[in-house]
Amino acid sequence: MLVLVAPGQGAQTPGFLTPWLELPGAADRVAAWSDAIGLDLAHYGTQADADEIRDTAVAQPLLVAAGLLSAAALGDISPGAVAGHSVGEFTAAVLAGVLDETAALALVRKRGLAMAEAAAITETGMSALLGGDAATTVPHLEKLGLTAANVNGAGQIVAAGTREQLAALAEDKPEGVRRVVPLKVAGAFHTHHMAPAVDRLAEAAKDLEPADPKVAYVSNKDGLTAATGDDVVARLVGQVANPVRWDLCMDTFRELGATALLEVCPGGTLTGIAKRALPGVKTLPLKTPDDLDAARELIAEHA
């Protein structure tokens, strides 16, 4: 059984969209999306520097657009389940048939703007902790006033909070943690710092007409599958200020009988985690169009 997954913020790198725009029809598709949401996706995906695409309001729609573009290049596929990490959940919602591409990108654009505004209230950020055990790490983070905003599994937790709290963490690592790595994000996402953005997103989502998922949609909230389109949208809205439980999502992939995991562009982060947490499951990240042939072979074998 094939699981199709989409990465979240921090996976973007300068110029990563360039080779994808060379595919037939891709540039026109991205231009139409750009017009619809008022953001030049092609520019940010090909010419902007790391600081420009670190901007939350830019990074989020850019990542979703890249994921959708790369998934479309695979052709008509039927995964057994879909999921996304953080903003990647919007990509997954499109792949599951819950939202259409333009509606999802428009909502993501509003999400990014709202989260950027919330992040501007206090100087906050996120850092990945490599190694350690959740039972030891989470209480240590709470002692420092931090939140375990992403519990990714395979020994990786992402802490979020103020810059001062993150600096204290770098000096006082939990037992077993090898490294604390600052992430290329502009705020403490999936924490109480994002509460103002939840209200903004809920208002923006009122006009949506979501369809029920055509395949299993696995939610970051609790690793459970969402049965209806309304449930998916409610989870997308609330997840802005809720911790990402990617570890529970992978538990569900295992329970569903996953044999392969394919990560859409810019792939790499989630497949890296899966290699450690899901032994025996074949993994493949879509980084450039050069990966498409291998991806189609994986799909033919497992979808």
Residue 168 and residue 66 share a domain: no
Catalytic residue, chosen from 34, 86, 127, 219, is 86
192 is catalytic: no
Using the predicted structure, report yes or no on whether residue 154 has a pLDDT greater than 90.
Answer: no
Q: Is the pLDDT of residue 184 over 80?
A: no
Angle between helices 101-121 and 56-73 (to 10 degrees): 150
| pLDDT average, residue stretch 261-275 | 96
Q: Quick check: 186 pLDDT over 90?
A: no
Domain boundary among 162, 182, 202: 182
Residues 134 and 112 in one domain: no
**Segment 23-46 mean pLDDT:** 98
Q: Report the number of distinct structural domains present in the chain.
A: 2
Provide the CATH number for the domain around residue 159.
3.30.70.250
The pLDDT value given to residue 71: 98
- Both 105 and 169 in a single domain? no
- Structural domain that includes position 134: 121-182
Q: What is the pLDDT of residues 228-250, one digit of tens each?
A: 999 999 999 999 999 999 999 99
pLDDT in tens, 133-147: 889 999 999 999 999
Q: Which of 190, 193, 219, 302 is catalytic?
A: 190
pLDDT at res. 156: 87
86: annotated active-site residue: yes
- Segment 89-102, tens digit of pLDDT: 999 999 999 999 99
- 303 is a domain residue: no
pLDDT band at 46 (very low <50, low <70, confident <90, very high): very high
- pLDDT, one tens digit per residue, over 62-78 is 999 999 999 999 999 99
Same-domain pairing of 139 and 176: yes
On whether both 11 and 159 belong to a single domain, the answer is: no
Residues 27-43 have a mean pLDDT of 98
Calculate mean pLDDT across residues 33-38. Answer: 98
Instruction: State the pLDDT at residue 59.
Output: 94
Are residues 20 and 116 part of one domain? yes
Residue 302 lies in a domain: no
